[in-house]
Amino acid sequence: MNPVSLQLFDVLLLLSIVGLAWASLASPDDRRSVILFMALGLLLALAWGRLLAPDVALAEAAIGAGLSGALLLAALREQPRREAPGATEAVAKRGSSRLQAMTQWVVTLLCAGLAGILGWVLVHIFAGPPLDRLTQSVSANLGVSGVSNPVTAVLLNFRGYDTLLELAVLLTAVLGILALGPGRAGYQPAGPIFDALARSLAPLLILVSAYLLWVGAHAPGGAFQAGATLAAAGVVLRLAGRQRIGLPPEGALRLVMTAGVGLFLAVGLSLLLMGRPFLGYPPAWAGALILVIESAAMLSIAATLVLAFIGGRLPAHGIPAAEPATRRREAITTAAAPERGGEEQSGC
């Protein structure tokens, strides 16, 4: 792409991103902010693609654009609609307006200082010679890492410890979500059009997530992107009214959620017992070990995100969390579409 067009594209994209971010933050209505945030996610995925970082673009498209939007909208549903007054009105209404104003000024100055420092750092970096020592050492060692995608090599091999800790953070999030108690009540059973789409979209998403997991060894992809896509399949089924979305019962589900960290630790510790450093894969086994760890991680990530969407524990098998009036309505829709209704009654 010739430099002029590329620059024009960059400028327009940048303006859109900054404008959307500002509008999303400055919007008085929560729902509007969330929708603007979703648009921002889409544009950010585009920006990552333009910056030639497809792995990050995949993650941003899956998590930032799709799932974050769904999670935020589901959470908003539980809150009463709140139209916040303008900032100055809110400040005037409260007694401690002086403290409020001072806090805002301090925060603004700190943010401006941070922006100044970052700007100086960026100018400094671009003025000097290219700093690619890390890139060179990654390329030099790619042969023994077991994969040919440098991003996966860094995430799962050279910096595997960081990824282990990230998965532990996800596990902690799951514990927090489970502590919230029973999840939200779920969604109405879908009409025939959406039901038909859900029946094709969910399997397609599962297939695409398996593809992303497999292709991550030699092309952009990997466990996080695959896990987010798998979670999207669960979210679609949940939105179509299926309560348990075919997940296993409680005990097996907890096993799946801990599988990511558990398997990673098991591999690391067994390597330690065999005399190698913690998570130091023998080069002949590295590829296979990475695939195994990534598969377990994908399942854990998907389970975490789906549980976050549900907002708590899954309903017990076969008992939908619906009141009698809704069940009567379900009976009517069951009469209209026996096949779909049959699935609902079996507690799917």
Partner 1 sequence: MSELYSLAVLGLMSSLFLGLLRVLRGPGAADRMLAVQLIGTTGVGMLLLLGPLLGQRALIDVALILALLAAVAAIAFTGEPRESRDD
Partner 2 sequence: MIDVVSSLLIVAGVGFYLAGSIGLLRLPELYARLHALTKADNLGLGLLTAGLMLQSPDLLYALKLLLIWLAVLAASATSAHLIARHARRRETRP
CB of 193 to partner 2, least distance (A): 5
| Cβ–Cβ < 8 Å for 248, 316 | no
194 lies in the binding site for partner 2 (CB under 8 A):
yes
Which residues lie below 8 Å from residue 149, measured CB to CB, with a gap of 6+?
55, 216, 217, 218, 219, 220, 221, 222
Q: Tell me which of partner 1, partner 2, none is bound by residue 157, counting a contact when its beta carbon lies within the kind-specific cut-off of 5 to 8 angstroms.
A: none
| Cβ–Cβ < 8 Å for 220, 54 | yes
CB of 109 to partner 1, least distance (A): 29
Q: Tell me which of partner 1, partner 2, none is bound by residue 313, counting a contact when its beta carbon lies within the kind-specific cut-off of 5 to 8 angstroms.
A: none
Write out 96-147 in H/E/C secondary structure. Answer: CHHHHHHHHHHHHHHHHHHHHHHHHHHHHHHHCCCCCHHHHHHHHHHHHCCC
Q: Tell me which of partner 2, partner 1, none is bound by residue 172, counting a contact when its beta carbon lies within the kind-specific cut-off of 5 to 8 angstroms.
A: none
CB of 312 to partner 2, least distance (A): 25
102-131 residues in contact with partner 1 (CB under 8 A) are none
Ramachandran class of 246: left when φ > 0, alpha when ψ lies in -120 to 50, beta otherwise: left
131 lies in the binding site for partner 2 (CB under 8 A):
no
Count the Cβ atoms, other than its own, within 10 Å of residue 259: 20
Q: At what angle do helices 286-310 and 223-239 cross, to 10 degrees?
A: 30
77 lies in the binding site for partner 1 (CB under 8 A):
yes
Which residues lie below 8 Å from residue 139, measured CB to CB, with a gap of 6+?
150
| Cβ–Cβ < 8 Å for 135, 206 | no
Cβ proximity to partner 2, 45 vs 156, nearer residue: 45
Cβ proximity to partner 1, 24 vs 100, nearer residue: 24
337 lies in the binding site for partner 1 (CB under 8 A):
no
CB of 225 to partner 2, least distance (A): 16
| Cβ–Cβ < 8 Å for 41, 70 | no
26 lies in the binding site for partner 1 (CB under 8 A):
no
Cα distances from 131 to residues 14, 27, 124, 128, 135, in angstroms, run 25, 40, 12, 8, 9
Q: Which residue of 326, 341, 343, 347 would you call a contact of partner 1, by CB under 8 A?
A: 326
Cβ proximity to partner 2, 13 vs 265, nearer residue: 13
Q: Tell me which of partner 1, partner 2, none is bound by residue 158, counting a contact when its beta carbon lies within the kind-specific cut-off of 5 to 8 angstroms.
A: none
Q: Which residue of 53, 201, 210, 316 would you call a contact of partner 2, by CB under 8 A?
A: 201
Which residues lie below 8 Å from residue 310, measured CB to CB, with a gap of 6+?
183, 184, 186, 238
Q: Tell me which of partner 1, partner 2, none is bound by residue 177, counting a contact when its beta carbon lies within the kind-specific cut-off of 5 to 8 angstroms.
A: none
DSSP for residue 275: T
Task: Give CA–CA dist 163/202, Å, rounded.
Answer: 28
Cβ proximity to partner 2, 166 vs 195, nearer residue: 195
Binding mask of the shown chain, residues 44 to 63, with x at each position contacting partner 1 by CB under 8 A? -xx--xx-x-x--xx--xx-
Q: Which stretch binds partner 2 (CB under 8 A): 14-22, 46-54, 65-73, 196-204?
A: 196-204
Residues near partner 1, by CB under 8 A? 1-2, 5-6, 8-9, 12-13, 16, 19-20, 23, 31-32, 35-36, 38-39, 42-43, 45-46, 49-50, 52, 54, 57-58, 61-62, 65-67, 69-70, 73-74, 77, 184-188, 194, 201, 204-205, 208, 212, 215, 219-221, 225, 229, 232, 235-236, 239, 321-323, 325-326, 329
